[in-house]
Structure 1
Amino acid sequence: MKNVNVLLLAVSANLFTFQPAIAQDDNAALVPLPSLEDFTQGEDGWAFGLGLGVEYESAYEGSDEYEFEIDPAGAVQWRSGDNIFYWAGEALGWRGLRSEIWLFEALLAFEEGREEGDSDDGRLDGLGEGEEGLELVLQARRAFGADWRYWLDGRIVAGENGNLGLFGIGRRLGDQIDGSGHEIAIAVVFHDSDYANKDFGIDAEQSIASGLEQTDLNGGFRSIGFNYNYRHYINDNWQIFGEAVYEHYSGDIKDSPIARSDYEAEVGLGFIYIF
């Protein structure tokens, strides 16, 4: 079913590959990557996009239970030259383009903790509520050319509940410079012991309450993942977006009783209106 959903998303994207007559020189995105929202259409000042997305995703990290979820989409942005400051949901951040081939990003985000009720089958009973916290995300992307056809991605997530690092490589499809088109990427992910145990560890108290084996994970290699992004302008105001994500966990995580599956998958589709 998950592979079918990913295929359906790709087919849906291809149905909208026609490109309306938009003057791209006047709508150049800060970086022409579909994975990065840019509602400014190449102009300095304020920009605002609002919409909805429907996702079919795992109920929690490592879950084999899947569900549909409707989430708001969009952001408030302010652009000044090669810099965009933005507020998107529970994240406040900045992106800056340097020398046409370097993109830097910094954002502060709120991470919601896991709840026992996230599992309809009761597989989290006795584990208690996961801790909420703030995360600082620092990212750098380096393109192999000003057209951003190929790029490298490095990311660090430092939070109250642990730290995570990511290194990836991506490929952009299409010639648009307005941020629309298709994009694929693969990445390897590493985490420290705090981050690993946040989602997959079981301490002595939780073990007694849940009946699950006590589990203490070390830091190191977490997973390898694949990501597909799609974005299309129907006209100057309406935009369609899609995403498919697959993450395959390492052996340490797969050994945790919380991990009911050795992978996690997600597929989503939505729309945004740009004011």
Structure 2
Amino acid sequence: MKKLSGLLLIMFIQGVFSQISFAQDEQTALVPLPSVDDFTKGNDGWAFGLGLGIEYESAYEGSDEFGFEAQPAGAVQWRSGDDIFYFAGEALGWRGLRADRWLFDVAVAFDEGREEDDSDEGYLDGLGDTEEETELVLQTRYALDDDWRYWLVGRVVTGGEGNLGLFGLGYRFGYQLDGTGSEINLVGVFHDSEYANKGFGINAQQSAATGLPETNLSGGFRSFGIDYTYRYYLSDNWQIFGEALYEHFSSDIQGSPIARSDYEAEVSIGFIYIF
């Protein structure tokens, strides 16, 4: 009887750990990084996430005005093995994991541009609106260890007015494999002259309309930044996320009359329901 009881106990323990192992496998994200949203829970096929976030951020690049803004959150995703195709708000793209350490991401994204009335104080009056444009975003991350504790990141934004590049190092906190927890990234940002003047340059016509001096920026170092991301499952379907971002501009950017602050910052929090 004791042997039978012992056998049943062993079978029960094995069953429990098998269920735990199965649950972990099922919840494994494409990569365990909170900044790379994955609503598939490790399964091939369609996945949907829908939610809302609240952002407190600079009114525009270089602004010293801040305000709250509601933004939709979530994505429609389709996963096949180590590939995910997604539509997220204003971006349509693909990301894929290769050799367990390389993550590639290609997306076509929409940039809303800048409008004069983005400044409640009228600091943009006479500068006109910058055009809305479609951009191509190319990104890769390379894990420096097997569990994505440290990684290198590179990103290029092109296809609109000018080009921007970002390069940095990231670190992940915690040991979850489902894409929750938190991470931090330290990056340096570079741009060409066309991209620099799109946001911070002042041409002759704008100078005549505003009285601000003409400003023509050259390309090179733009800023350094730090970005923190948090993600947590409240239940099987509800997820909370948050982000804090700080970007400190170079002296060239700070010298533009448009830059009324030497930094840009953003804090956001939101909830997503996963179907």
TM over 0.5: yes
Paired letter, 2:27:
N
Does structure 1 residue 131 correspond to structure 2 residue 131?
A: yes
Deviations 1:203-223 (CA, angstroms, capped at 9, x unpaired): 000001011111000000000
Instruction: Give 3-state SS (helix, strand or coil) of 2:273's partner.
Output: strand
SS of match in other structure, 2:117: helix
8 A Cα contact 1:188 1:223, kept in partner: yes
| Residues matched between the structures, number | 255
Q: TM-score, structure 2 length as denominator?
A: 0.91
Partner in structure 2 of residue 15 of structure 1: none
Alignment match, 1:141? 141
Deviations 1:243-269 (A, max 9, x none): 000000001100000000000110000
Match of 2:188 in 1: 188
Indicate conservation of the 8 Å contact 1:102/1:140, yes or no.
Answer: yes
Superposed, 1:1-275 pairs within 5 Å as 23-275=23-275
Contact 1:82 1:96 in 2 (8 A): yes
**In 2, Cα distance between equivalents of 1:271 and 1:164:** 30
What is the CA deviation profile of residues 81-128 of structure 1, one whole-angstrom value per residue up to 9, with x for unaligned ones? 000000001100000000111100100001111000000000000000
Q: What does residue 7 of structure 2 align with?
A: none
SS of 1:196's equivalent?
helix
Q: Tell me which stretches of 4 or more aligned residues in structure 1 moved more than 6 Å.
A: none
Amino acid in structure 1 at the alignment position of 2:41 = Q
Q: Which runs of no fewer than 5 residues in structure 2 stay unpaired?
A: 1-19
- How far does the alpha carbon of each residue in 1:127-186 deviate from its partner, in whole angstroms, 9 at most, with x for none? 001111111011110001221000000111112211000101000000000000010110
Query: What is the TM-score when the length of structure 1 is the normalising length?
Result: 0.91
Q: CA RMSD in A?
A: 1.0
Residue type matched to 1:173 in 2?
A: F
1:95, 1:169 → 2: CA distance?
19
Q: Percent identity?
A: 70
Q: How far apart in 2 are the matches of 1:196 and 1:36?
A: 28
Which whole-Å CA distance do the structure 1 matches of 2:206 and 2:267 have between them?
A: 32
Residues of 2 paired with 1:198 and 1:23: CA distance?
49
Question: Following the alignment from structure 1 to structure 2, what is the Cα–Cα distance between the partners of residues 140 and 84?
Answer: 14
* Structure 2 residue identity aligned to 1:187: V
SS for the counterpart of 1:197 is helix
Q: Whose radius of gyration is greater, 1 or 2?
A: 2
State the secondary structure of the residue aligned to 1:131: coil
1:45, 1:79 within 8 Å by CA — same for their partners in 2? Answer: yes
Q: Which has the higher contact order (CA 8 A, sep 6+)?
A: 1
Taking the aligned partners of 2:40 and 2:201, their CA distance within structure 1 comes to 43
How far apart are residue 24 of structure 1 and its match? Answer: 2.1
